Each structure stands twice: as C-alpha cells, then as structure tokens.
Structure 1
Amino acid sequence: MKKIVLAMVLALVAMPVAARKTCDDLKAEIEAKMTKKGVKNPTLEAVANADVKDGKVVGSCDGGTKKLVYTRGK
C-alpha cells in the first residue's frame, strides 16, 4: 500500500516538470513516437492556447502556455 501511495506522489510531482518542456523538445518526442507507430510525416504545430481551432491537441509545452496540435496530412 505504501508503495502505491509513493508511486502516486512521485507521479504528481513529475507532472509539472513534463509540462515545462520546450515545444521543440516535446514536438521531437511526439513526432518520433508517431513515426514509430507508422504515421508518415506527422504535422505538429505549437500554438497559443487561445488559438487552438483545428486538429487534435497532443501535448502541452512552454509551461502550459502553448499546445501542440496534430493535423492529419493529405
């Protein structure tokens, strides 16, 4: 039981650190994962939170001020 609680606490502590990644770093990580899963030429764009309109939000970067948006290629 103590191990589960410890794991949950560590996960909560690590979450803000992940949100502080730069958009370029996070974009590279997500593109690599998508390419590995078979997506050809993934299109990711970092946009301000208020400017998210089309596409699917796949990540948050720059301290939560921007979102990475995936738009399916044609």
Structure 2
Amino acid sequence: MRNLLLATCLFSLSVPAMASCDDLKAQIDAKLQAKGVKSYTLDIVPVAQAAAAPVAASGAAAATPAKETAGKVVGTCEGDTKQIIYKRN
C-alpha cells in the first residue's frame, strides 16, 4: 500500500515537469497578450540548439543559428529537453 501511495505521489509531481510544449507555449502566449505585449514570437527549440546560440553569436560558428535562437528563455518543457524562446519583432 505504501509503495502504491509513494508511486502515485512521485508520478503526480513529475507530470508538470513533462508538460507539453504546445500547452506551455499557449499559456505563455496568453499571459503576454494579457499584459498587452505586441509583436513577438515564441519558438520551441531543443536545449542543445538554444545552448549553441552564445557560441554562434561570438563568431565561433555560423551566424544563422544564433539569429534563429537569439532571445530570452521563458520556459522549458518535455522534461527539460526543449526550451521556449521569446523574441521581440
């Protein structure tokens, strides 16, 4: 009985960490619109691609990937494997 209770508690705590990227993006989008923010984009990128942006911005790699991922990380999803990047237009 204790094992079942423990497993249930652990599962309920892990569900938000595995949040769907689309759901989280929709929540962030709703909050930005409620604050009156206009002209922005929210992109979902893999963590490896987002982490490569500072290297690319320093000139060590091609500038194109840095331009695609330059922005502020406003959320992570799918078990911290993807990030949601906010960019002003």
The TM-score normalised by the length of structure 2 is 0.61
Give me the CA root mean square deviation.
1.5
> Which residue identity is paired with 1:61?
C
Identity of aligned residues (%): 50
In structure 2, the residue matched to 1:23 is: 21
Larger relative CO (CA 8 A, sep 6+): 1 or 2? 2
Unaligned runs of 5+ in 1: 1-12
In structure 1, the residue matched to 2:33 is: 35
Distance 1:57 1:31 in 2: 13
Correspondence 1:44 to 2:31: no
Secondary structure, counterpart of 1:63 in structure 2: coil
Unaligned runs of 5+ in 2: 1-11, 54-69
> Which residue identity is paired with 2:16?
A
- Determine which structure has more spread, i.e. the larger CA radius of gyration: 2
Task: Note if contact 1:60-1:66 (Cα within 8 Å) is conserved in structure 2.
Answer: yes
- Matching of residues 58-69 of structure 1 within 5 Å: 58-69=74-85
Secondary structure, counterpart of 2:23 in structure 1: helix
